[in-house]
Chain A
């Protein structure tokens, strides 16, 4: 996806362009196309098509999905906490989940890793893992619900994201915090600001009281118990406070963007 973003053509709406390109492909190739990235030539060839006037089912469904984003944002209660569970309820083993095998998961050296902070923040200095570990941490035992339907209860420990946003002087009137990750094909996901400021939204450094293992997103994941699992990015390398909707790995493929629980 990162590559597509860099290939923006001035004056051409990125989303419509990609949507247009995607529309011409059979279902199965779509996902591979989007994850694999596309050539500039392929995209420019397709810009002639008229997407705006298209009244296809796909356009209608995308519009309803946007409407559902708005409904869910309206339903979202910033004070409603996700149910918490006793430690005895923790699912063991907690499932690894990704669009790749666990041995393809990013293998990050914590000493080299830095969290980039960008966008509408007062202080955009990068953070080392050591610095982040010094921030106050809290633990939560909550239910992780996958978009596929299964769920698992886990124990996550880390710093509330809202505390960190305050620390870096983020403009919390901005619309999104956009996360970028080290997963292959460049995972990313936008988080709406009200959810980013929710008391249980966490920069997670530990799972079950142990340093976050590689399978669950070492060195840092964002735990959002009020969202579906794919809105809980792992292997996070940067966050950007922004008013722009920058899309996301799964969101761009059609998963509802708000996907609140």
Chain B
């Protein structure tokens, strides 16, 4: 009886220690690779017909030229989409999204933003996201969905013309796709900076605890 209680206690302790379950860690790092491939090849594709008055330095692009970049972009898109779908399905089915990301209240976001900017935000329990994290993680999921849909609408403006029309037409869909990329890059900068500031969170995403 006592040994059973001990092993139960032990099990509870070890599950409590797992901050990021294995499936989250796997899809996270696959996504990281896919997103970087998509962004770098996307920059090279952008350079072929820039929307704004600048181009991306070839040293930070992937593919060498438009044809090579398109090959990378349309290969990595499968990795991004399949992995993203697995993440969304598991996120809903396991209840992780509901548990981790909800609720998001304006008051919570404001007070946690203030706390974060004054370096007073607690990271004692990495398994529990603060309101800024909730907002950013939920937001980046939505941006991820929009960038994939706008990308599909640029790729298939005839076969998926209803989708292209939803974005306001081919030309606007290109801007939407670009803006989503910019948001993801901004998120990435912040995300990586914060992971470096709180290294325990990076460790949790690698070994789970």
A60 within 8 A of B: yes
Selected contact of A61 from candidates B75, B158, B170, B171, CB within 8 Å: B75
* Distance of A151 Cα from B169 Cα, bound (Å): 11
Binds B, one of A76-84, A100-108, A167-175, A234-242: A76-84
Selected contact of A64 from candidates B49, B78, B157, B174, CB within 8 Å: B78
A247 within 8 A of B: no
A145 and B170: CB pair below 8 A?
yes
**What A residues does B70 contact at CB under 8 A?**
147, 254-256
Selected contact of B158 from candidates A28, A31, A83, A147, CB within 8 Å: A83
**What B residues does A11 contact at CB under 8 A?**
none
A27 and B71: CB pair below 8 A?
no
**What A residues does B14 contact at CB under 8 A?**
none
**What A residues does B170 contact at CB under 8 A?**
143, 145, 151
A47 to chain B, nearest CB (A): 24
Main secondary structure of the interface of B (DSSP, over half): helix
**What B residues does A60 contact at CB under 8 A?**
75
A137 within 8 A of B: no
Within 8 A of A (CB), among B145-163: 154, 156-159, 161
Residue of B nearest to A26 (CB): B64
A199 within 8 A of B: no
Contact A261-B66, Cβ < 8 Å, known A64-B74, A145-B170, A151-B171: no
Q: How many residues of A contact B (CB 8 A)?
A: 33
A61 and B157: CB pair below 8 A?
no
**What A residues does B66 contact at CB under 8 A?**
147-148
A254 and B68: CB pair below 8 A?
yes
A80 and B72: CB pair below 8 A?
no
**What A residues does B46 contact at CB under 8 A?**
149
A75 and B156: CB pair below 8 A?
yes
B71 and A65: CB pair below 8 A?
yes
A27 and B74: CB pair below 8 A?
no
* Distance of A225 Cα from B170 Cα, bound (Å): 14
* Distance of A259 Cα from B75 Cα, bound (Å): 14
B195 to chain A, nearest CB (A): 28
B92 within 8 A of A: no
Residue of B nearest to A81 (CB): B158
B166-201 Cβ-contact flags toward A at 8 Å (1 or 0): 000011001000000000000000000000000000
Within 8 A of A (CB), among B23-52: 45-46, 48-49
B67 and A254: CB pair below 8 A?
yes
Contact A62-B71, Cβ < 8 Å, known A83-B158, A143-B170: yes
A61 and B71: CB pair below 8 A?
yes
A225 and B158: CB pair below 8 A?
yes
* Distance of A65 Cα from B74 Cα, bound (Å): 7
Residue in A143, A150, A253, A261 with the greatest tally of chain B CB atoms within 10 Å = A261
* Distance of A28 Cα from B49 Cα, bound (Å): 19
A202 within 8 A of B: no
Selected contact of B157 from candidates A28, A77, A145, A147, CB within 8 Å: A145
**What A residues does B156 contact at CB under 8 A?**
75, 260-261
* Distance of A62 Cα from B48 Cα, bound (Å): 21
A250 within 8 A of B: yes
The 5 closest A-B pairs by CB, nearest first: A254-B67, A149-B49, A148-B48, A64-B75, A27-B64
A-B contact pairs, 21 of them (CB 8 A): A27-B64, A27-B68, A61-B75, A64-B71, A65-B74, A80-B158, A83-B158, A146-B49, A147-B48, A148-B48, A148-B66, A149-B49, A149-B154, A150-B49, A151-B170, A151-B171, A225-B158, A226-B159, A254-B67, A260-B158, A261-B156
Residues of B within 8 A of A (CB): 45-46, 48-49, 64-68, 70-72, 74-75, 78, 154, 156-159, 161, 170-171, 174
Residues of A within 8 A of B (CB): 27-28, 31, 60-62, 64-65, 68, 75-77, 80-83, 143, 145-151, 225-226, 250, 253-256, 260-261
